[in-house]
Amino acid sequence: MKCEIKFKDISLYLDGRYSQKKREALQVHIADCPRCSKKVDEIKTLRASLTRLVPIEESSGFDFEFNRSLDERLRYRKEHDWKAKIQGAASNIMDSIVMPMPAIVKVAASFILVFSLAWSIRAQALQKMPFIEFSAGEARIYRQATNNWIATRPKMRLKAGDKIKLSAGAVVNIASKGRYKARIKDESLIVLSKLNSGLRNIDTDFSISYGKLLVNTTDKFKGSSMRIYTPACDAEVVGTAFIVEVFQNRTWLGVLEGRVRLLSKVHPLKAGSVKRLSTYVSAGQEASTMPYLYSTVPKLLSNREWKTMLELYQLVEKPQVMLLLGTGPNRVDEFLERPIPVYIPDAVRRVTPKELLEAIDIVKQATREGNIELVKKNTLRLQGLLERYPSPQYSVEILMFIASQLHYVHDYIAALEVLEKVSAQYPDSEFASLAQCSIATIYQNNFKDIDKARMIYSQLITTYPGSADAIRAKEMLSPQR
Amino acid sequence: MEVENIVIRAQEGDREAFDELYSEYKRPILNYLYRFIGNRHCAEELTQETFIRAYINLHRYEPRAKFSSWLYKIAGNLARNFLRHASYDKRVRPVKVDPYATGEFLLTENIGTRERGPAERAQAKETKALIQQAIDHLPAHLKEAVILCDIQELSYEAAAKIMKCRPMTVGSRLWRGRKKLAELLNYIKNGE
């Protein structure tokens, strides 16, 4: 007969874990079975030898060592336990705010705190992400996730890799709240190739295959970056408003404010290897480039181009009348060359008296017709209206506008009067130095009074040493002239 | 009941009360750790660490379980971490089950001195070294059961509380530990 009893059974039997009945049965079996009784002996011996192991005693100095290390550890914790300090301070504050508070309320409050914090950080990050503000005409967007072209709709958030395709006559406005606004127009294919959002800034890269992109950045853009890749160049933005147009691989860039760096790719045969040549295009200038060719030298925007650039101001409206002028040292020439265009945003239009706006339109019309009498009459009326309704939003700008119109119709004396008014009444405005510079230029060119001109130039250098017009004045005073 | 009162006093910050607990339990913990690890110096270090942790975390102890079980739990965790540590193998673990070929600590350790006479003492010493070495070769969970039930002579229930398992699991680990130990010590030839 084969014995079915296992090591496990004997071990548990010896430990007294079996019921009375089973124990008795095993007892009977063990007495008969020599194999099992041998196992019992073995386990008993093992147990006995384990039990007989004499406990060791701690070595001398053990207690002393223990007390020393405990004290040391406690001291260390006291010094380094900043968590406990913060917790203590926080709980003190909590206790002082709400005295007895159940634990569940505390837990709930901390959850709400953590969630609201996370939510606000997320909202902050999302707020900066560009989205479609407005779209008209046939505009479609390709998204890799959906893998097909879908129609654009407002409030759609853009992701890196999105392609936007517009048919003729369509417009899509893209906005990154507080950072920049961009507009895609007409027949265009533009890819949002990169989109990185930091805590404060946002880096956006667009690639234009063909079409037109208008960008206007705001003051908060500082620290963010934007690059625009076209078949012919890369344009890098330094806080600015500009238009990029790609037509049959030719890239045209017009800048209204700030400046844009244009990196053209030069053909390997011309430059040894593909080389990037950078040109800075400043405010009021335009440049164009073709693939693998040097870009054209930036030159002043033509009148017709100015008009197209006006659209940029519709993107980011500042509550301020704008004179469409560059900011460089040559702005005097621009200012005196033609009747300077003025742009009145809707925000200003709403708060400006109607008769003032009408008067401006009449002056514009009269200048266009070359009706000197009408221009003189209406500029006088406009000056009267400005005195009646002065406003920091437009006073200086409209006076400069008047001066420009008067100069254009060759009424230099009246123009001088207005310019002197600007430099006397608004010495802190950004146009004060321009007004002085214009006065000097008028004396020099139209009255041939060089001494008077030189005097005003040197005055200008001392009064506005940092301005762009001072650079111009220094140029005019230099001995070569 | 008396122990619980001392614990409560210690929890209130009474260092003397903690010292009482320390002198009460230091030896069982030391022996438990010694059997677990097989190295006296490391066992002493870990015993000190056990009591330091107990002191720091005394506010977390709830008198639902016995204080000693709580201490054993801390010590067991420390010992398991210690054994898991990579450097352990190089430092203490004997490589072969051969008392004459092992590191000196096994032969110099004073495991038991109940026997009289030089020959008997040498024989006993050898056996005890062999037993400790066999214990060293058990997996941690079997080792824990053998140490608690057979060496420290705790009941299944008390051991179960320390090992965080059911009493029958202790029983099963115990018989498997014993079997393995017996195999290692050549009490059983060719297994079951």
Query: Are A137 and A269 part of one and the same domain?
Result: yes
Domain containing residue A201: CATH number: 2.60.120.1440
User: Are A77 and A169 members of one domain?
Assistant: no
Are B51 and A12 inside 8 Å of each other by CB? no
Q: Dmax of chain A from CA atoms? A: 141
Contact A36, A15 (CB under 8 A): no
- Tell me the residue range of the domain where A89 lies: 72-98
* Same structural domain, A327 and A234: no
| pTM: predicted TM-score of the whole model, two decimal places | 0.41
Same domain membership, residue A283 and residue A382 = no
For residue B60, the SS3 value is helix
Question: The domain spanning residue A399 has which CATH number?
Answer: 1.25.40.10
CB contact under 8 A, B114 and A62: no
On whether both A229 and A256 belong to a single domain, the answer is yes
Looking at A82, A98, A114, the residue that finishes a domain is A98
Neighbour tally for A182: CB within 10 Å: 24
In a domain, B19, yes or no: yes
Mutation pick from B178, B179, B185, B192 vs chain A, by most beta carbons of A within 10 Å, is: B178
Lookup: tokens for A181: 């606004």
Residue with tokens 């050898």: B126
Q: What is the DSSP letter of A273?
A: S
Instruction: Give domain status of residue B45, yes or no.
Output: yes
Total domain count for chain A? Answer: 4
- The reply to whether A93 and A146 lie within a common domain is no
What's residue B190's pLDDT?
A: 37
Q: ∠ CA(A158), CA(A162), CA(A167), 5° rounding?
A: 100
Locate the chain A residue with the closest alpha carbon to B135: A50
- Measured in angstroms, the CA of A14 and the nearest CA of chain B are apart by 10
Task: Answer yes or no: is B15 within a domain.
Answer: yes
Domain span including residue B92: 1-96
Query: Using one digit for the tens of pLDDT, what is the confidence trace for B59-68?
Result: 888 888 889 9
Cβ contacts (< 8 Å) between B112 and chain A: which residues?
52-54
* Domain assignment present for B129: no
CB contact under 8 A, B187 and A12: no
Counting every residue written for chain B, the total comes to: 192
Is position A104 within any domain?
A: no
Residue B161 falls within a domain, yes or no?
A: no
| Helix (H) or strand (E) segment spanning residue B75 | helix B67-84
Tell me, yes or no, whether B39 lies in a domain.
yes
Residues A343 and A286 in one domain: no
Same domain, A200 and A338: no
User: What is residue A61's DSSP assignment?
Assistant: T
Judge whether residue A449 has pLDDT over 90: no
Q: Could you tell me if residue A58 is inside a domain? A: no
Which of A229, A237, A240, A299 has its CA nearest to residue A264?
A: A229
B178–chain A nearest CA distance, Å: 8
Report the pLDDT value the prediction gives residue B106, as an integer from 0 to 100.
33
**B9 within a domain of the structure (yes/no):** yes
pLDDT (tens digit per residue) in A269-286: 555 555 567 788 877 788
Whether the pLDDT of residue A226 is over 60: the answer is yes
- Please check whether residue A56 lies inside any domain of the structure: no
Average pLDDT over residues A64-88: 84
Phi, psi of A247 (to 5 degrees): -135, 120
- How confident is the model over A377-414, as pLDDT tens digits? 888 888 888 888 888 778 888 899 899 888 888 888 98
- What's the full length of chain A, in residues? 481
Is residue A395, in this structure, part of any structural domain at all? Answer: yes
Asked if residue A67 belongs to a domain, the reply is no
Does residue A32 lie within any of the structural domains? yes
Same domain, yes or no, for A223 and A149? yes
| Residue B71 structure tokens | 């201490």
Condensed to tens digits (0 to 9), the pLDDT of residues A290-346 reads 877 777 888 888 777 777 777 777 676 666 777 777 667 778 888 888 788 787 877
Q: Which residue in A12, A50, A66 is closest to B48 by CB distance?
A: A66
Nearest CB to B31 within list A46, A55, A62 = A55
Q: What is the CA radius of gyration of chain A?
A: 41
A227 and A322 in a single domain? The answer is: no
The domain spanning residue B74 has which CATH number? 1.10.1740.10
Q: Are residue A84 and residue A225 in the same domain, yes or no?
A: no
Q: Tell whether A131 and A266 lie within a shared domain.
A: yes
Q: What is the count of structural domains for chain B?
A: 1
* Residue B20 lies inside a defined structural domain of this protein: yes
